[in-house]
Amino acid sequence: EDKVVQSPLSLVVHEGDTVTLNCSYEVTNFRSLLWYKQEKKAPTFLFMLTSSGIEKKSGRLSSILDKKELSSILNITATQTGDSAIYLCAVGPRTGGGADGLTFGKGTHLIIQP
Contact residues for another protein, defined by CB under 8 A:
34, 41-45, 48, 88, 90, 92, 95-107
Distance in Å, CB of 50 to another protein, minimum: 12
Q: Which is nearer to another protein, 41 or 68 (CB)?
A: 41
Classify burial at 27, counting beta carbons within 10 Å of its beta carbon; exposed 0-12, middle 13-18, buried 19 or more: middle
Q: Is residue 64 a contact partner of residue 35, using CB atoms and an 8 Å limit?
A: no
Question: Of 82, 85, 86, nearest to 59 (Cα)?
Answer: 82
Q: Which is nearer to another protein, 7 or 80 (CB)?
A: 7
Q: Which is nearer to another protein, 1 or 69 (CB)?
A: 1
Distance in Å, CB of 92 to another protein, minimum: 7
Q: Which is nearer to another protein, 95 or 113 (CB)?
A: 95
Q: Is residue 88 a contact partner of residue 38, using CB atoms and an 8 Å limit?
A: yes
CB neighbour list of residue 56: distance below 8 Å, 6 or more residues apart: 47, 49, 62, 63, 64
Distance in Å, CB of 13 to another protein, minimum: 20
Distance in Å, CB of 57 to another protein, minimum: 18
